[in-house]
Structure 1
Amino acid sequence: MLVLPPLSLYIHIPWCVQKCPYCDFNSHGQQSELPQKEYIDALLKDLQQDIHYVQGRHLATIFIGGGTPSLFEASQIARLLKGVEKLIPFNKAIEITMEANPGTLEHDDFKAYQKAGITRLSIGVQSFAKEKLNLLGRIHGEKEAKTAATKAAQAGYKSFNIDLMHGLPNQNFEEAMSDIDTAAKLNPPHLSWYQLTIEPNTLFHSKPPQLPDDEALWQIYEQGQKKLAALGYEQYEISAYAKPGFQCQHNINYWQFGDYLGIGCGAHGKITYLAKNTLLRTVKIKHPKGYLAASNYTFDVNIIEEDDRALEYLMNRLRLMLPIPKEEFEQRTGLSSERIQSGIEKAVTKGLLIDSPTQWTLTPKGHMFVNELLAQFC
């Protein structure tokens, strides 16, 4: 039987200074002065229209992503968060993350965003090497990145994250390891470290750069993981590493197939809707002009059919390094764990999974071959 999971909120702010050549997110280069007040007004109306999905819950986490949310003034972010709390009560220990670009943050803004209600910053560094930053279309340099991390640590945030990429154009092993070393010296409680992938509808897709070969990528990944572990970072998700107690709670709820409302241009949501005993995915109007002119912000609502729930759950849950409680599977999908027993047995036989009375645990081989593991349930 379906049980209501924790509730999160994702807020999308679609504007950035310029579109990066690798980015496939719904983002738009800033062409003129941003309609900050109008967009915040629209976000709160959007949330009001989704209020029936709350079903008595408090918000556990909020994540403000983009785009570049730090283009918005701290006063507008404060107004947004106050408006959200009027509509949905906050958990006492709510985690509120905002993405920030080092090239758009003024030193005085750090404390202003913290006073506005942000408890956690996610700083999009990607690399500390000037050549790589230029190739990635980033508007900051090494100095701005280091300053942003230092100021975040001093401003009173409960945590902050540094985003790093590897497998960059023409990147060698030493350069990739140097980025990790430089980031670690800034002592962020959380590091996101993930490989650059070439996505459709990006400039890199139409004009592919020269990327490291598979052997070089594997060396970077394998040695990078060892380095991060030696530096005290625990890998809790495929591309997320944290000091003990500093895991991103918003992302954990997402990968555990928890619920999240999505507001803003193109934002996605996933909701357990007990009134109809079903799971829903929501999508909001994508383009800023259409969104700002709308009276109804929802573009589409899709039902996650019962036959698809198990695979959708596993596609999310297998990103985490934690064992999978069978009770969690049943509460989040509304299905009996016996429903996937055939796939479990195949995975156990292949050495991908360990089946115990209360949980499933991935083996080291299972973590390495997640796609093969998922194939057992298709």
Structure 2
Amino acid sequence: MTTIFSHLPIPDSQSPKLNTLPPLSLYIHIPWCLRKCPYCDFNSHAIRNDADIQEKAYVSALIHDLESTLPRVWGRRLTSVFFGGGTPSLFSAESIDTLLTAIKTLLPLEPGAEVTLEANPGTFEAEKFADYQAAGINRLSIGIQSFNSIHLQALGRIHDAQDAMKAIEIAQKNFDNINLDLMYALPGQRVNDAGSDIKAACAFNVQHISVYHLTLEPNTLFYRYPPVLPDDEQSAAMQDVIERTLADHHYLHYEISAFSRRGRVSQHNMNYWLFGDYLGIGAGAHSKISFETNIVRQMRFKQPKEYLEKAALAGARSEATVQMQHTLSNSDRYFEFMMNALRLIGGFENALFQERTGLPITVILRQLNEAEQRGLVTRDHMHITPTQMGRNFLNDLLHIFLPESRSFLTDAKESTSK
């Protein structure tokens, strides 16, 4: 009898229990940039003058924000910390040190926890790399995007190819764990240009490389005024060249856009992809926090000015910085798990699905059968893995698991890690 009923969907009115809580990460959003890039749809705000960055006030607000949400994560330890943006490297090393000291006091870090800071290759930021390392940052993620100055200019970046190479050299003097972010299918880019970019990145022998296809996102300048981009055939050829070049240089392709040396995968992003928990503080930051019977999503107030005002109330009103909150339904749980885990080249173990969602794998048996019949996944009683075709047509694969009540584009974008 138990076996028969385990194949039936669990009604959303019933909250399945989690036997163990997943790992917990911390994301800290710094919302300012020197200039808003025309392709960027993240919560970032261009600086018009020095008064736009209220660095000390924002650091204080982040600490109050973290203190106010402690009851939700009390007793848990952090497996990773990530400073994202915007451009976190606009902040001083002193501010980063203040934040990390407060974090370690309030939420202890696991031994060997990964602490990442996103940085731009501009001279102003690169000069602070050594101080960031001294403050406790142990992984640097540099937004290179391209080693071609013409393409960088087309992307609206404020650095050129020489700045990019110099920044990497400075970083390597201070860090032994570095990620380079690159993009392809850029305006005016040819296949051999993309090949030159990835070869240049490989030549630095860094520990991690992320390579993203440029997409025209709503609410960006590129979306309103689209540039001429490579067609699908050219983009596919670029992707092929990039993946073959990275393989030739012994980088492990472990997620659709991520490549690493052995043992150097991104701990923080792996936690996202395996449906772990993350607490997000800062303007517009998102959180996913699990409890025994509930999984809750939150979003902080997006505008920096409003976030600062709300954070000032955090002592008097718990989580005053939270603008929106909702509890995941059962269908939310299984879709969001699959949306993230199917990005992994090696897939995931069946047992992890129930561990992280509280649901038996049989609740998606029909969808799994369809995905397998269409050649988008392979599976056995232990493991589920997206095929090459499944990765190439990931949106089609995810639509199989999409509940009718969900907005695919909104939810997929919300869960995409930087």
When the two structures are superposed, what TM-score results if normalisation uses the length of structure 1? 0.96
Q: Does 1:238 align with 2:256?
A: yes
Task: Kindly tell me the number of residue pairs found equivalent between the two proteins.
Answer: 375
Q: Which position in structure 2 is the counterpart of 1:249? A: 267
Q: Which position in structure 2 is the counterpart of 1:80? A: 99
Residues 123, 163 of structure 2: 8 Å contact kept: no
Q: Secondary structure at the match of 2:253?
A: strand
Q: Which position in structure 2 is the counterpart of 1:23? A: 40
CA RMSD, 1 decimal:
1.3
> What letter corresponds to residue 119 of structure 1 in structure 2?
N
Q: Does 1:32 align with 2:56?
A: no
Q: Does 1:365 align with 2:395?
A: no
Residues 341, 347 of structure 2: 8 Å contact kept: no
Write the distance in 1 (CA, Å) between the matches of 2:301 and 2:73. 20
Give the drift of 1:106. Answer: 4.8
Give the drift of 1:29. Answer: 0.6
Residues 70, 104 of structure 1: 8 Å contact kept: no
Q: Secondary structure at the match of 1:10?
A: strand
Cα deviations across residues 198-224 of structure 1 (Å, max 9, x unaligned)? 011111111110001111111111121
Write the distance in 2 (CA, Å) between the matches of 1:39 and 1:88. 19
Q: Does 1:272 align with 2:290?
A: yes
Q: Which position in structure 2 is the counterpart of 1:131? A: 150
Q: Does 1:314 align with 2:311?
A: no
Residues 261, 269 of structure 1: 8 Å contact kept: yes
Q: Which position in structure 1 is the counterpart of 2:134? A: 115
Write the distance in 2 (CA, Å) between the matches of 1:215 and 1:354. 26
> What letter corresponds to residue 347 of structure 2 in structure 1?
P
Mind listing any 5+ residue stretches in structure 1 that lack a counterpart?
Answer: none
Q: Does 1:13 align with 2:36?
A: no
* Counterparts of residues 340-355 of structure 1 (less than 5 Å): 340-355=364-379
Aligned-residue identity in percent: 46
Give the drift of 1:178. Answer: 0.7
Give the drift of 1:374. Answer: 2.3
Q: Which position in structure 1 is the counterpart of 2:168? A: 149
Write the distance in 1 (CA, Å) between the matches of 2:394 and 2:271. 20
Equivalent residue in structure 1 for 2:78, among 49, 55, 59: 59
Mind listing any 5+ residue stretches in structure 2 that lack a counterpart?
Answer: 1-16, 314-319, 403-418
> What letter corresponds to residue 171 of structure 1 in structure 2?
Q
Which ranges of 4 or more aligned residues in structure 1 deviate by more than 3 Å? 104-108
Give the drift of 1:326. Answer: 1.4
Q: Does 1:290 align with 2:306?
A: yes
Residues 71, 104 of structure 1: 8 Å contact kept: no
Write the distance in 2 (CA, Å) between the matches of 1:107 and 1:368. 36
Q: Which position in structure 2 is the counterpart of 1:172? A: 190
Cα deviations across residues 141-174 of structure 1 (Å, max 9, x unaligned)? 111111111111111x230111100000011111
> What letter corresponds to residue 82 of structure 2 in structure 1?
F
Cα deviations across residues 90-131 of structure 1 (Å, max 9, x unaligned)? 111110000000115455411100010101000001011111
Write the distance in 2 (CA, Å) between the matches of 1:219 and 1:204. 23
